[in-house]
Amino acid sequence: MVESPNRTGQGRAASGLRFAIELIAWITTPWALAGHSALLAVLSVVVLIGLPTVFATPGDKQQILVPVPGWVTIALVVLQVVAAVISTWVLLPTWIAVLVQVLAVLTVIAELPRWRWLWRAGGGPIR
């Protein structure tokens, strides 16, 4: 199986952008949920950090605990992006939320080659 762009030099920029958006989601989502429910805040950490740590598509990461089709990995990244955007709009000043939204768009654009590879590794065509 050919390696994912995630494991080549081509994926460096996408990995950096993805990590930035993940970090924002990890920080802002529990914070945004804490006012409603401590349990939801803790659950968000488990979902946003735990699921991508446990589940991965073969060929996309060096070590995989539980192999999943590519579409699952794509869904986990989309979840991180959506969580980061929504949480910043809920919590932070508008100008920061706009910057995070721009970062989210850039992340999705940079992720497209990886997502195409992931889709072929267990999904359908992304053009």
Q: What are the pLDDT digits (tens) for 49-67? A: 999 999 999 888 888 899 9
- Contact status, residue 19 vs residue 31, Cβ threshold 8 Å: no
pLDDT of residue 121: 78
Q: What is the pLDDT of residue 1?
A: 52
Q: What distance lies between CA 121 and its chain's CA centroid? A: 18
CB contact at 8 A, 122 and 75: no
- Model confidence at 2, pLDDT cuts 50, 70, 90, reads low
Supply the DSSP symbol for 2.
Answer: P
> pTM for the complete prediction?
0.89
Contact 6, 15 (CB under 8 A): yes
- pLDDT at position 127 over 50: no
- pLDDT, one tens digit per residue, over 5-44 is 766 676 789 999 999 999 999 999 999 999 999 999 999 9
Distance between first and last Cα of the chain: 20
